[in-house]
Amino acid sequence: MKRKPNIAVVGATGVVGSTFLKVLEERDFPFENIYMMASAKSAGKTVKFKGKDYVVEELTEHSFDKPIDIALFSAGGSTSAKFAPIAASKGVTVVDNSSQWRMYEDVPLVVPEVNPEDIAWNKGIIANPNCSTIQAMVALKPLQDKYGIKRVVYSTYQAVSGSGVKGINDLKNGLEGNNEDLQAYAHPIAGNCLPHIDVFLDNGYTKEEMKMINETHKILHDDDIKVTATTVRVPVFDSHSESINIELEKPFELEDVVECFRQFPGLIVQDDVENNVYPLALDAAGTDEVYVGRIRRDYSVENGINIWVVADNIRKGAATNAVQIAEKLLEQLPD
Ligand code: 3JN
């Protein structure tokens, strides 16, 4: 790379936005200028980055009049709907964490370990997938490459941090015995499992479930894979866990599957059941990798395999994935 980019963080004061800053700092992301932006409500607050205080500016139609190369957005779908096209029209490449643009045909949906080649055809907006999709993709891609995938069944166990501060508050309050005044959920989350993430759709699925199904097809470039999902909120603060049942196209040896997981970037095998070793939400929290374990044959179908996949939903499931996309963009930055 020849010069350092100017970057903007949109939604800098939110749960994902503040993790953008943490991850950019940890990875020593190169930059010339960095601009912190948020809605009028949060404008004027200060955020710390690399030991310096930055005043958050209000996001407006003119925010991208100054030269900015890359903008990381995590400010919700309606903000992205309005401001990402404005930014893109001014030459900014937007990496957007919301679902707003994910299924648009001219918007790449990218997990850098899985389909980095899709970044090349962006037209100014690149979408970050849903957190539950991202970690599943990192585990499924090596299987798709080696054996082909016929069908996938997702069952998720999702942390309350996926619902932002309100979800975290509902669990904290519930653990203290206060299940009144719920902020995020229709029922108490402490001591409970809620098979209800995002809104219900006419087909009986939740929006979260349909995101996983549709995004899987787009990222793996194969609409013929049969996919179904049940997404469940559990009383865990950080990291999503997923049971994934996969029917492969070709027969396999279990040890070869484990080996192809071991070889895949960003994926760590934790599978030693004799010593009670398997991926755990508490261990994954605060890290950037995806963990896979409980790797075993599914004897109920031909060429079936069951796995357990865990990752930090705010880091790999959101901020880290977006920053990894931005790192790939650096390679294409013009002089
Ligand atoms: O609930 C979770 O664990 C993940 C939540 C994701 C989410 C929450 C509100 C709005 C999304 C998303 O990333 O799909 C959105 C959205 O942008 O639609």
Give me the residue spans of the domains in the chain. Answer: 6-128+318-330, 132-313
With a cut of 60, say whether residue 1 has pLDDT above it: no
Residue entry with tokens 């800098």? 12
Amino acid, res. 150: K
Q: Which of 187, 193, 240, 260 is catalytic?
A: 240
Q: How far is CA 11 from CA 53, 300, 330, in A?
A: 16, 46, 22
CB of 163 shorter than 6 A to ligand 1: yes
- Is 193 a residue of the active site? no
Average pLDDT of the chain is: 97
Q: For ligand 1, is residue 130 a contact (CB within 6 Å)?
A: yes
Task: State the pLDDT at residue 61.
Answer: 97
258-301 pLDDT tens trace? 999 999 999 999 999 999 999 999 999 999 999 999 999 999 99
* Given 62, 131, 196, 260, the catalytic residue: 131
Residue 332 pLDDT: 81
- The response to whether residue 158 sits with its C-beta less than 6 Å from ligand 1 reads yes
Q: What are the tens digits of pLDDT across the range 198-250?
A: 999 999 999 999 999 999 999 999 999 999 999 999 999 999 999 999 999 99
Q: Could you confirm whether 240 is annotated as catalytic?
A: yes
How far apart CA 80 and CA 230 sit, in angstroms, is: 27
Q: Sheet with 93-96: list strands edge to edge.
A: 57-58, 34-38, 7-10, 70-73, 93-96, 125-127
The residue whose CA is least distant from atom 17 of ligand 1 is: 98
* Ligand 1 neighbourhood includes 99 CB (under 6 angstroms): yes
Q: What atom of ligand 1 comes closest to residue 131's alpha carbon?
A: 4
pLDDT value at residue 333: 78
Q: What is the CATH number of domain 132-313?
A: 3.30.360.10
Share of the chain above pLDDT 70, in %: 99
Distance from C-alpha of 83 to C-alpha of 73, rounded to nearest angstrom: 9
Spatial CA neighbour of 16 closest among 317, 327, 285: 317
CB of 156 sitting under 6 A from ligand 1: no
Q: What does the pLDDT read at residue 334?
A: 74
- DSSP-assigned letters across all residues of 249-266: SS---HHHHHHHHHHSTT
For residues 130 and 215, is the Cβ–Cβ distance under 8 A?
Answer: yes
Please determine, for residue 169, whether its predicted confidence score (pLDDT) is greater than 90: yes
Domains 6-128+318-330 and 132-313 share a fold: no
CA of 334 to the centre of ligand 1 (A): 33
Distance CA 218, CA 250 (A): 22
Helices (H), ranges, the chain = 15-26, 77-89, 131-147, 164-175, 207-220, 254-263, 281-284, 320-330
Segment 165-184 shows an average pLDDT of 97
CA–CA gap between residue 204 and residue 210 (Å, rounded): 10
Q: Which residues contact 251 (CB under 8 A, 6 or more apart)?
A: 303
Name which residue sits closest to atom 18 of ligand 1, judged by CA.
99
Q: Kindly give the distance from the C-alpha atom of residue 101 to the centroid of ligand 1, in angstroms, as a whole number.
A: 13
Question: Is 197 a pocket residue for ligand 1 (Cβ < 6 Å)?
Answer: yes
- Report the nearest-CA residue for atom 4 of ligand 1: 162
Q: Which CATH code is given to the segment(s) 6-128+318-330? A: 3.40.50.720
pLDDT digits (tens, 9 = 90+) for 40-77: 999 999 999 999 999 999 999 999 999 999 999 999 99
Q: Is 208 left (phi over 0), alpha (psi -120 to 50) or beta?
A: alpha
CB of 77 closer than 6 angstroms to any ligand 1 atom? yes
pLDDT of residue 106 exceeding 80, the answer is: yes
75 alpha carbon – ligand 1 mean position (Å): 11
Question: Which among 208, 215, 240 is the best mutation to test ligand 1's pocket, defined by most ligand atoms within 8 Å of the CB?
Answer: 208
User: What is the number of the ligand 1 atom nearest to the C-alpha of 167?
Assistant: 1
Q: Which atom of ligand 1 is nearest to the CA of 159?
A: 3
- Residue 3 confidence class, pLDDT cut points 50, 70, 90: confident
Dihedral angle of Cα 93, 98, 104, 108, to the nearest 10 degrees: 50
211 lines ligand 1 (CB under 6 A): yes
161 ligand 1 Cβ < 6 A: no
Q: What is the pTM of this model?
A: 0.97
| Residue-level pLDDT at 293 | 99
Does residue 2 carry a pLDDT above 80?
no
Q: Which atom of ligand 1 is nearest to the CA of 313?
A: 3
Question: What per-residue confidence (pLDDT) applies to 114?
Answer: 98
Smallest CA-to-CA distance from 173 within 163, 186, 188 is with 188
Looking from the CA of 290 toward its CB, the CA atoms found within 13 Å total 34
